[in-house]
Amino acid sequence: MTDRYAVIGRPISHTKSPLIHGLYAEATGQDIAYGAIEGSLDHFADDVRGFRDEGGRGMNITAPFKMQAFELADSRSARATLAKASNCLKFENGKIFAENYDGIGLLRDIQSNLKTPLAGRRLLILGAGGAVRGAILPFLEAGPAQVVVVNRDVTKAQALAIEVNNPLLTVLGYDDLAGQTFDVVVNATSASLMGECPPIHGDVFKDVQLAYELAYGKGLTPFLRLARESGVKAIADGVGMLVEQAAEAFEWWRGVRPDTRPVIDRLTVPLV
């Protein structure tokens, strides 16, 4: 019997999730059907429960419903709890289980696919939104020398630091970056979605080995262009994160780990 899964978001027409999970199912021999649901802003919980009640086994969650998915769940992982958001749900025994694989997907892409281990290195994260909240625990578990979070609203980043309560996590304002050096810089702001660059100077890239843009499929964003012009040799967008977090969800649902490399290669847009 074919098991049903879906991604829910609004808007949803741009989603790559049905393609990704379809490729995973084909490669691993799993009998699943995976669709896309345009969620209702006013009736999200009804949409999820309706899909579950019709036989759905699990759902991926995308904007703007990740926080609502977290609240809807009966059981939540530590990662989802810190993020206060869920990008993946599983339905078992009448209950809804919530996970957040965004951070794990990002970490796996950086360390495994891009060959940039974070142990002992200084990491700068631009932004303090939901994606960052989901990534903080996996990043800290990788053993960095320091993780610095920079945000326009410093109090928002400080609130995150208080929740995490880890001496390796530091919060700064953009004006405090002068003279700081880093090994990896991750842009988790929404600036690139609007064709803009976060308020950073090229000097921040002085010793950087990898500049990573969470947005994907946008080509050479202003952030990545600044990094390249500042001498960073390795730049990447978030397509690998997208594919890797999907693989985490697929394994959670199906108990089989798919090979992500062919899917990353298929979806990658040249950074030019």
Could you tell me which of 155, 161, 152 has the C-alpha nearest to residue 133? Answer: 161
d(CA 272, CA 268): 12
β-sheet with 146-150: strand ranges across? 169-172, 146-150, 122-126, 184-187, 210-213, 234-236
Q: Which residues pair with 268 in a beta bridge?
A: none
Q: Is 66 a catalytic residue?
A: yes
For residue 200 the two structure tokens come to 């950073």
d(CA 152, CA 263): 35
Active site residue: 66, 84, 95, 206, which one? 66
d(CA 109, CA 245): 9
Cα dist. 47→18, 53, 80, 95, 254 in Å?
18, 10, 20, 15, 23
Cα dist. 194→47, 118, 189, 190, 191 in Å?
30, 29, 10, 7, 5
Helices 154-164, 130-141: axis angle to 10 degrees equals: 40
Which residue do the tokens 């994160």 mark?
241
Catalytic residues: 66
